[in-house]
A and B are shown apart, each in its own frame.
Chain A
């Protein structure tokens, strides 16, 4: 500012505001926050890489190469999409609900964005609902693209829609609450490093993309990543509802939510 700009007279803020509270207004504010957060994710290059390019690239890679066959993740000569698609969907969900939200929220916390929004009529509960809504909106976009690519690659089903929706909702609750717990308790730089590392571990060894045999497979089945992978694979390979995996996700969701409520700090 090199020159003093002309003031436009008395700021309009001096007029008394109409303080209005109603459920419709609250819904409008949360919708605005969902829109803002969703657009922020879709405009951010790193978030796009994490949320869309890597999971969808992996879908194409696993579907078009003999890797899954070689790893024994599918019956010899079987359709790799039966594993590649649920793996990509699980990875999409982990990218958005856990890693993406943990990093974005940690930096928002560091720069005071959470505190600033908490002082607006949106409030803390609206802020959290806005984040949840944005995660769901991005997941819907990811899933639509993943199914479209899988269809192009020859995927024809079966899909147990109810099991897929339940796995998605429970997986989102578990991973988002854990991501927010991390973002609200750990420094932003540590969250950046930790959330990316966990993403790699979930994808590589956590049962998110492929099922692991033996005791390791049993162990990761009790982790959110393994349980989500199992629930997704069951929903897309004709097995339907994997009750054990759903219960594991539900428990992680409850645990993460309680811990985040207890320890999350806005500043």
Chain B
């Protein structure tokens, strides 16, 4: 039996000539939260479908606690729960009816009330799924993923459409699951959520993993791990300096550390000591610009994500 809750090796899947999943390797340790990030169409949802065995890979191997989800579905489906992005709930049924039915498909289900209570499902239990808000449907779908008492759970955008309170409840739930030894594979577009919850993050783009590690590691591994932002009173393009003055300022700052200018900010990437920061501020002041704010911060996971995948819409 494998030590890993989820093991993926050399996974490939294509739609015709389009390689949606192109050689993914992945491990999730028991009790960990693995964040899966990537732009739309990156191959995240297909990877989850392959991982839970609803699709057969073209090549490669998936193991859930050492079992092949495609060949040993009856076993792996009792070890892994899935919350799909589109909910997967029958529209004409009521939330607790759906959960009771799903519970009847497992040999050792969680009592429905143990999930309905903390997720607040009783508030709308008399309405059919069709009549629930997006956030309410998300909460039912989360309960559906957990009803079989899984040891590994795939959550595809669990907080999409949730208000801040419900979001906090779901985040607490996810933390408690991991604390209790359940492995969580969390697919999300919300980079702050991944940063807050995940022990490890993988960034998938064009079917490949392009970055992997703890959020802190990814931020530190970025060429611009820390960033100094000096904001000035006027936009740089309209400041009362000539183009030559501006070029001279940027050149002088560049000599201290790599600098770029955008809008009314001068941005300096990299680790800076206090002398360098003082020198940079002096250069700006000597150039006749009025400093309104100085901000030194670490790059967020979002900065790293954009750096890796680019900003243009796909």
Interface of A toward B, CB cutoff 8 Å: 1-21, 25-26, 28-29, 32-33, 36, 40, 43-44, 107-108, 111-113, 115-123, 266-267
| Residues of the B chain whose Cβ atoms lie less than 8 Å from the Cβ of A122 | 105
- Inter-chain residue pair count (beta carbon < 8 A): 154
| Residues of the A chain whose Cβ atoms lie less than 8 Å from the Cβ of B90 | 40, 108, 111, 113
State how many residues of chain B have any CB contact under 8 Å with chain A: 61
By secondary structure, the A interface counts as: loop
Q: B88 touching A113 by the CB < 8 A rule?
A: yes
- 16 contacting pairs across A/B (C-beta < 8 A): A1-B135, A5-B169, A8-B117, A10-B180, A12-B149, A13-B81, A13-B146, A14-B179, A111-B87, A112-B86, A113-B88, A115-B88, A116-B89, A119-B82, A121-B73, A122-B105
Q: B107 touching A32 by the CB < 8 A rule?
A: no
Q: Which of the 9-residue segments B20-28, B160-168, B227-235, B286-294 touches chain A?
A: B160-168
Nearest CB to that of B111 among chain A residues? A12
Q: B54 touching A32 by the CB < 8 A rule?
A: no
Interface of B toward A, CB cutoff 8 Å: 49, 52-54, 73-75, 77-82, 84-93, 101-102, 104-108, 110-111, 114-115, 117-120, 123, 135, 139, 144, 146, 148-151, 153, 163, 165-166, 168-169, 172-173, 176-177, 179-182
Instruction: For the complex formed, measure the closest distance between the CB of B167 and the CB atoms of chain A, giving whole angstroms.
Output: 9
Q: B73 touching A123 by the CB < 8 A rule?
A: yes
Q: B110 touching A12 by the CB < 8 A rule?
A: yes
Q: A17 touching B180 by the CB < 8 A rule?
A: no
Q: A19 touching B78 by the CB < 8 A rule?
A: yes
Sorted from nearest, which 7 A-B pairs have the closest CB atoms?
Answer: A14-B180, A116-B88, A112-B88, A112-B86, A32-B104, A1-B166, A119-B82
| Residues of the B chain whose Cβ atoms lie less than 8 Å from the Cβ of A44 | 92
Q: A5 touching B105 by the CB < 8 A rule?
A: no
Known: A11-B176, A116-B84; 11 extra A-B contacts, CB below 8 A, are A1-B139, A3-B165, A8-B117, A11-B118, A12-B111, A13-B177, A17-B150, A19-B79, A116-B144, A121-B73, A121-B77
Q: Which of B88, B153, B173 contacts A7 (CB 8 A)?
A: B173
Assess A7 versus B172: contact at CB under 8 Å? Given A14-B182, A112-B86: yes
Instruction: For the complex formed, measure the closest distance between the CB of A106 and the CB atoms of chain B, giving whole angstroms.
Output: 12
Instruction: For the complex formed, measure the closest distance between the CB of A59 and the CB atoms of chain B, giving whole angstroms.
Output: 27
When chains A and B are docked, how far (Å) is the Cα of A6 from the Cα of B168? 12
When chains A and B are docked, how far (Å) is the Cα of A26 from the Cα of B85? 27
When chains A and B are docked, how far (Å) is the Cα of A3 from the Cα of B177? 21
Instruction: For the complex formed, measure the closest distance between the CB of B69 and the CB atoms of chain A, giving whole angstroms.
Output: 9
| Residues of the A chain whose Cβ atoms lie less than 8 Å from the Cβ of B84 | 112, 115-116, 119
Q: B114 touching A17 by the CB < 8 A rule?
A: no
Instruction: For the complex formed, measure the closest distance between the CB of B77 and the CB atoms of chain A, giving whole angstroms.
Output: 5
